[in-house]
């Protein structure tokens, strides 16, 4: 995905996130660890941008975390106010709503529901849709259970992990992409596959 964006003459910064980082996202300090890195990269890119604005791309729970990054109110002792630097936010297969949302994801949707900062930021939410014959064995095994936990039904459409209705953020420009899986383990084509990126990227 990064290589494809760079080929479009887009300066790109990938925020590093290890498995340990993601394990820590059950707690506020884990979110802050990652959002501090986002802030550092965003400030650097904004300084180089002719518009002084940057575009954010968040995959899965990362998209929910970036919704919080836009807010001015303090979080875990840090005030990000990312909307001053950001003109667009893409969320890719992000579980924006869930019956059993983690406390932090539920907090984001309670405090900043939908495209909360749409007056300043263009929100685009992208949902993958796998047909029954598509996706990996993992997606066919995990998908129904994940859809049940997120939305209360196991017969929904989705990307093998997140159902379409959850990935579509209310008030955003919502896209559905057929044949797109949540990640590489869930199918041959995912949100970061070059020909898929070309479908959702607006430049």
What is the full per-residue pLDDT of the chain (203 aa) written as tens digits?
Answer: 999 999 988 889 999 999 999 999 999 999 999 999 999 999 999 999 999 999 999 999 999 999 999 999 999 999 999 999 999 999 999 999 999 889 999 999 999 999 999 999 999 999 999 998 899 999 999 999 999 999 999 999 999 999 999 999 999 999 999 999 999 999 999 999 999 999 999 97
Domains and CATH numbers, the chain: 2-180 (3.40.50)
pTM strictly above 0.85: yes
Which residues fall within 8 angstroms of residue 156, CB to CB, at 6 or more apart? 147, 163, 164, 165
Tens of pLDDT along 35-93? Answer: 999 999 999 999 999 999 999 999 999 999 999 999 999 999 999 999 999 999 999 99
Task: Quote the strand ranges of 10-158, DSSP E.
Answer: 54-59, 86-92, 122-129
Question: Cα separation of 49 and 52, whole Å?
Answer: 5
Rounded Cα distance, 134 and 70, in Å: 35
Q: Which residues, at least 6 apart from 74, have a Cβ–Cβ distance to it below 8 Å?
A: none
């Amino acid at each position: 995905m990064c290589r494809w964006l760079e080929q479009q003459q887009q300066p790109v910064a990938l925020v590093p996130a290890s498995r340990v980082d993601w394990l820590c996202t059950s707690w506020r300090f884990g979110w802050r660890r990652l959002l501090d890195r986002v802030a550092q990269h965003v400030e650097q890119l904004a300084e180089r941008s002719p518009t002084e604005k940057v575009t954010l791309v968040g995959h899965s729970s990362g998209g929910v975390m970036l919704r919080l990054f836009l807010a001015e109110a303090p979080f875990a002792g840090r005030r990000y106010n990312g909307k001053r630097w950001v003109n667009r936010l893409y969320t890719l297969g992000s579980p924006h709503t869930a019956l059993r949302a983690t406390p932090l994801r539920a907090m984001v949707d309670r405090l900043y529901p939908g495209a909360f900062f749409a007056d300043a930021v263009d929100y685009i939410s992208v949902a993958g849709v796998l047909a029954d014959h598509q996706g990996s064995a993992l997606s066919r095994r995990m998908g129904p259970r994940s859809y049940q936990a997120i939305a209360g039904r196991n017969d929904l459409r989705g990307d093998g992990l997140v159902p379409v209705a959850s990935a579509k953020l209310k008030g955003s420009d919502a896209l559905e992409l057929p044949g797109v899986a949540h990640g590489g383990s869930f199918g041959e084509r995912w949100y970061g596959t070059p020909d898929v990126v070309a479908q959702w990227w607006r430049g």
